[in-house]
Chain A
Amino acid sequence: MATKIDRRSLLRVTGTALGIGALYSVFPSLTRNAGAEVIARSLFDINGEAPAPFSFIQLSDTHVGFNGPPDPLGTKAFESAVATINGLKDRPELVIVTGDLTHDADSSDEHAKRFRLFKEISAKIGAAQIKVVPGENDAALDGGDMFREFMGPTHYSFDHRGVHFIALDNVSSGRPAVGAEQLAWMKNDLARFPKTAPIIVFTHRPLFDLKPEWEWFTSDGDDVMNVLAPYENVTVLYGHIHRENFHQTGKTKLYAARSLIFAFPDPATTPTKKPMPFDKAQPFKNLGIRRVTGNATGNDLQIEEVELSTAQYSGAVGIDQMLKHGDADAKDE
């Protein structure tokens, strides 16, 4: 089913999410904006790059190490996502992963093993930069120490083809919070940009009260949104909720990606937060790519859901065999 989204911003994000993550094409509509040349020059002066077209992928909630009833196939959806990305005609220059790279483990040795496996699988993504933020499974028990050891800092920023990216950590304090120190850092980081600069924030938890009793919120999310509010072209990408969602606060648009492990139901339709059951006939159900396309001059974008490939598992028969015999990557925890 196609969904139309009206977009009137300098930055056009033509892709969103899913299951394997989201494919985004970013192409500033410079030719349609009278002041765009000035802005482009300004951004070039600031970060050495004027805005230019590119595409990227968002993956989320790979939960490497999880292997239970809602997804007895463990990392298979993640691996299928990697294969799908590598099969794209135009390879993305950038892949971002919005948290819960690993599933939490009782021992630090086991957790380290899961980080190594995440790196091993993600390293197969061809020729792309991979940028990550932690989820609570990665970083909330040890303040992010192991995440930093394997993946690097929990928050940072960078520029890519004229777009400013901010990686925000709203998990490693143990609470769903960004914290005053990181907020001050973000405010300072943004200070050098004009209000029209294209900005993408990626983080794990929603920065608004999506469903607090399901822990779908960030306690100081309003403070983050207030820092972002003066900027006209901000997109926030996040995970955590294992399902798609679109929300807008002021001019800021926030998109959630599906997970690569199992889906949660729509909280509007059920009182209980419980993973949706595994469906052998459709093992990657609700885990797919959402491809968004639009024309170069219009503002109406078409969003198309694309399922992950199940060809290698030959449908339910293949899944049965795998569940019965397992394989090197589909062992119990």
Chain B
Amino acid sequence: MTITKNKLVTVTVLAVGCAIVFAAIEPKSRVARADVNPKVIEITAKKFEFTPSEITIRKGEPVILRLSSTDRVHGFMSKPLKVDTDIAAGKPTEVQVTPDTAGDFTIICDHYCGIGHGNMKMKVLVVE
């Protein structure tokens, strides 16, 4: 059986095309797999602190922050990390964060909770 030049070209183009498509899809698949079971980090809020006061997460890797308050409503806000929610007492709140930049970030309580509110914050270290 002979293979014509045209057929050879067609097969080659298809093979290259498939490789390109596979390469393009593969990273998304990896992200999708990571999305299925992102790491969960528990964070507790109370006047006037978050516990833990510092967490480390990886750039590009989604994590679920499971937030709870033991006293009253608190805020949980960081513009660079694109997170902004209230944490109601006794009602856990979950937010997903996928940092796109490495560095040190501060999350603050932006729901006024009394004297000392201004010092209620925590650190998020995003590593490569």
Q: Do A and B come from one complex?
A: yes
Using CB atoms and an 8 Å cutoff, list the residues of chain A in contact with chain B. 103-106, 136, 140-141, 171, 174-176, 209, 212-213, 215, 219, 273
Given known contacts A209-B79, A215-B108, what 5 new A-B pairs fall within 8 Å (CB)? A104-B114, A141-B113, A175-B86, A212-B79, A213-B106
Report B97 CB to chain A, min CB distance, Å.
16
> Are A175 and B110 interface neighbours, CB within 8 A?
yes
- Chain B residue at minimal CB-CB distance from A176: B110
C-alpha spacing A174/B75, complex, angstroms: 9
- SS class of chain B's interface: helix, strand, loop or mixed? mixed
> Are B112 and A213 interface neighbours, CB within 8 A?
no
**B77 CB–A CB distance under 8 Å:** yes
C-alpha spacing A209/B79, complex, angstroms: 10
* 8 Å CB contact of A174 from B73, B78, B106, B118: B73
Report B84 CB to chain A, min CB distance, Å.
7
Chain A residues whose CB sits within 8 angstroms of the CB of B39 once the complex forms: none
Report B43 CB to chain A, min CB distance, Å.
17
Using CB atoms and an 8 Å cutoff, list the residues of chain B in contact with chain A. 73, 75, 77-79, 84, 86, 106, 108, 110-115, 117-118, 121
> Are A104 and B111 interface neighbours, CB within 8 A?
no
Chain A residues whose CB sits within 8 angstroms of the CB of B79 once the complex forms: 209, 212-213
Chain A residues whose CB sits within 8 angstroms of the CB of B110 once the complex forms: 175-176, 215, 219
Chain B residues whose CB sits within 8 angstroms of the CB of A103 once the complex forms: 115
Chain B residues whose CB sits within 8 angstroms of the CB of A212 once the complex forms: 77, 79, 108
> Are B111 and A174 interface neighbours, CB within 8 A?
yes
C-alpha spacing A103/B115, complex, angstroms: 9
C-alpha spacing A136/B117, complex, angstroms: 10
C-alpha spacing A141/B116, complex, angstroms: 13
C-alpha spacing A315/B77, complex, angstroms: 44
> Are B108 and A140 interface neighbours, CB within 8 A?
no
- Chain B residue at minimal CB-CB distance from A136: B112
Chain B residues whose CB sits within 8 angstroms of the CB of A175 once the complex forms: 75, 86, 110-112
Q: Which of B73, B110, B113 has the most CB of A within 10 A?
A: B110
- Chain A residue at minimal CB-CB distance from B106: A213
Report B91 CB to chain A, min CB distance, Å.
16
C-alpha spacing A103/B75, complex, angstroms: 21
C-alpha spacing A140/B113, complex, angstroms: 8
C-alpha spacing A213/B106, complex, angstroms: 6
Chain A residues whose CB sits within 8 angstroms of the CB of B78 once the complex forms: 213
